[in-house]
Amino acid sequence: MARLPDIRGSELARSGTMEITGVLAAILSSAFGGTAVGATRYLAGTLDPLVIGAVRFGGGFLVLAAVALWRRDRWPPKSDWLGTGALGLLFFGLFPVLFNGALVYTTAARGALALSTLPLLTMLAAAVLRIEPPTIRKIVGVLIAMAGVAVALGTSLMTAPPDAWRGDLLMVAAAFCMALYNVWSRPFLSRTAPIPFVAFGMGVGAVCLSVLVVSNGGFARLATLSAPQWIASAYLAIICGAFIFFLWAFALERASPTLVAVSVAVNPVTASIFGVVFLGEQVSANLIVGLVAVLAGIGIATGAAERLSLWPDDRQSRRRQP
């Protein structure tokens, strides 16, 4: 008697491949996101945070919209305009305001550590909304990745201004906005392509930021930019605006919200590496140990340990799923 093909096994393998692709896209997005810190710091002496956000997301919207129109991608249906716009306002409007406001009170290192709570907040939101059940493997992986961030930042966490706690809370609030975006985006991504989905939301956020900038005449400062500063602005718009957020939506379409969110731990590490390469900062043992811990945490959370039979409870639960 001929043996029937293992259809269920092939579906699991295909699903696993999509998940791995999504996680790799999220890691690449977070890695490039770390370089945005350096570009933003370079422009901060000339432009205020709102102008930088408007340039980044406004330029990113124009790039993504042009690509989506050229590819003739499927845009969000009218029934999704309100939800997609609200997510755009949350992620590309409120998030950068909270993020930039946090850095007024706290240090960049403490802010990065506060932002690394994103995977835990995403896991909590996904569990409450019954979108993704938490597992021991994911919890352990997330905690190890967060510990890696703390180690990589090292002694930078020790110094803090008097009101640093205000900034820390604002950064956690920013992370919570991003967590909700991660969890609520997936249903919309099932009905549209990632590029127009991000373009639509980014356009809403860019418009809101631009209104605030116009109200205080902030765009007039663009005339004072030098050629290198225009290059940095273009980098923020094209790479740190269009490219990394397309990768993030691409990842959310293929992997669970928590597995995508855990990659944010790479962000402060790549920011530190950027400082070493371009700003002449010293390579520390903390950075190396932290990077190893972050990669280990991501590996555990995404199932590398499961394939090595270290987490049989998760593997068996997956097999029992209908």
What DSSP designation does 75 have?
Answer: P
Q: What is the pLDDT along the chain (322 residues), one digit of tens a residue?
A: 445 455 455 554 555 678 788 888 988 898 887 777 667 777 877 888 888 889 999 999 999 999 999 999 999 999 999 999 999 999 998 888 887 777 777 766 677 777 878 888 888 888 888 887 877 888 888 888 878 777 766 655 666 677 777 888 888 898 899 999 999 998 898 899 999 999 999 999 999 999 988 988 888 888 888 898 899 899 999 998 999 999 999 998 888 888 888 888 777 777 666 666 665 555 567 667 776 777 787 777 766 545 444 444 444 444 444 4
Q: CA 190, CA 207: separation in Å to the nearest integer?
A: 25
- pLDDT number for residue 18: 80
Statement: the pTM of the whole predicted model exceeds 0.85: no
- Per DSSP, helices labelled H in the chain are 7-43, 49-71, 81-89, 95-105, 108-115, 118-128, 136-153, 164-189, 194-215, 227-237, 244-254, 257-261, 266-278, 285-302, 304-307, 312-320
Listed residue (186, 196, 178, 135) closest to 264, CA to CA: 178
Q: CA 22, CA 263: separation in Å to the nearest integer?
A: 11
- pLDDT number for residue 246: 93
